[in-house]
Amino acid sequence: MSAFRFSAAAITALLFGYVFSGCSTTPRSVSAASVKSEKDRKEAPDFALKDADGKVVHLADYKGKVVLLDFWATWCSPCKVEIPWFMEMQRKNKDRGFEVLGVAMDDEGWEVVKPYIAKAGVNYRILAGNDMTAQEYGGVDALPTTFLIDRTGKIAAVHVGLASKKDFDDGIEQLLNDAPAGGIKLDRDGAAVPNAGSAK
Amino acid sequence: MALLSLTLAAQSNGHMKVGQPASVSGKRGATVDAKIPLVIDPGFHVNSNTPSDETLIPLSVTWKNTGALEGGKVTFPKPTQEKYAALDKPLSVFTGNFEVVAHFKVAANAPAGPGVAVGQVKYQACNSTTCFPPKTVEVSLPYSVQ
């Protein structure tokens, strides 16, 4: 990961924001301190990364869903604290239009990542990261770095380093409850239903 | 063996500085020890040479070119077992300032005069919540065959 640098300015900009608590469509109104207001959110860069089966995955494939995008590595102990949380969040929210994507930044690639995810029983999709994608997300020098991406494909929150589980839970809940922007329709379970008016 | 200086010339490359080892000197067939000073930023640690988990990247020193010196096996200090709040188990780590020692033997047929052995220090640093990518820093060991 020679180009594996994190721009402090980019992170500061991504972290800057305030609590957004409006527009909840369910009785449970949750707001996470880390979640920026909609107007302050920036488009999450699209990527084309391979999963463990060699299938190319684009962020755009998840249009209409809330995505937790976790940059991690097998050599990162704090990352491995969060992984069981993300597995639980995936299990709990998958049917509500939520997906976790793990981007593994190990130089050795699948040779070390596959055994780890098999042993840990990771229940969400893992992608092999690269420097280009890391750069597009601000450099990602510090791991874990986790982005919460709203249903419109915008970065709603960034966590650099081990964050609090509650903040992840609250952020996900808030984004799942947010009134979908850009014309995305939700089914009764809160999952996005593709339609012509869907916005990224 | 002679330790001429202890300069932390410092190749700083991400939360650990690798100092310049002092020059070593010896006759043919003699053993010489070279100390490599390492300084870890406050609040950070690097995995020891024997990490507590097989997925963690150990501190290591390898030699690309030892010139007229033979061997180069490295002795590490005793690591500490640090417990970080979020982690279940303690980690085997190094913190602060310490030295690793490389053990050489001057080759029996070494020509008299100076030379430089070149090695690499590989490490991976973290603090209590964040880890940084593994780094490899080149280290040069000046020596003199008497």
Parallel, antiparallel, or unpaired: how do β-strands B125-126 and B60-65 relate?
Answer: unpaired
Instruction: Find chain B residues with C-beta within 8 A of A77's C-beta.
Output: 53, 56, 84, 87, 91, 126, 131
Rg (CA), chain A: 16
Contact between B62 and B119 (Cβ < 8 Å): yes
Residue B35, C-beta contacts closer than 8 angstroms, at least 6 positions apart: B3, B6, B21, B22, B99, B100, B101
pLDDT of residue A186: 56
pLDDT of residue B120: 97
Q: How many whole angstroms separate alpha carbon B26 and alpha carbon B109?
A: 13
Residue range A89-97: average pLDDT?
96
Q: Return the C-alpha torsion angle B61, B65, B69, B71, nearest 10.
A: 40
In three-state secondary structure terms, B88 is: coil
pLDDT at A133 over 70: yes
Q: What is the DSSP string of B45-61?
A: EEE-SS-SSTTSPPPEE
In three-state secondary structure terms, A36 is: coil
Instruction: Find chain B residues with C-beta within 8 A of A161's C-beta.
Output: 127, 129-130
Parallel, antiparallel, or unpaired: how do β-strands B45-47 and B125-126 relate?
Answer: antiparallel
What are A46-87's pLDDT values in tens digits?
A: 999 999 999 999 999 999 999 999 999 999 999 999 999 999
Q: How many whole angstroms separate alpha carbon A170 and alpha carbon B115?
A: 61
Residue A27 pLDDT grade (very low, low, confident, very high; cuts 50, 70, 90): very low
Instruction: Find chain A residues with C-beta within 8 A of B55's C-beta.
Output: 74-75, 112, 116
Backbone φ and ψ for A71, nearest 5 degrees, come out as -85, 125
Parallel, antiparallel, or unpaired: how do β-strands A154-160 and A185-186 relate?
Answer: unpaired
Q: Is the peptide bond before B42 cis (omega within 30 degrees of 0)?
A: no
Chain A interface disruption, residue of B130, B135, B136, B137, most A CBs within 10 A? B130
pLDDT of residue B115: 97
pLDDT at A21 over 60: no
- Choose among A4, A74, A162: nearest Cβ to B129: A162
**Range with lowest mean pLDDT among A9-23, A181-195, B71-85:** A9-23
What are B86-118's pLDDT values in tens digits?
A: 888 999 999 999 999 999 999 999 999 999 999
Among candidates B117, B122, B129, which has minimal Cα distance to B21?
B117
What are B125-144's pLDDT values in tens digits?
A: 999 999 999 999 999 999 99
Rg (CA), chain B: 16
Count of C-beta atoms within a 10 Å radius of residue A3: 11
**Global pTM value:** 0.83
Q: How many whole angstroms separate alpha carbon A169 and alpha carbon A93?
A: 10
Residue range A35-39: average pLDDT?
92
Look at A105 and B133 and tell me if their CB atoms are within 8 Å.
yes
What is the nearest CA distance from B107 to chain A, expressed in angstroms?
A: 36
Look at B133 and A81 and tell me if their CB atoms are within 8 Å.
no
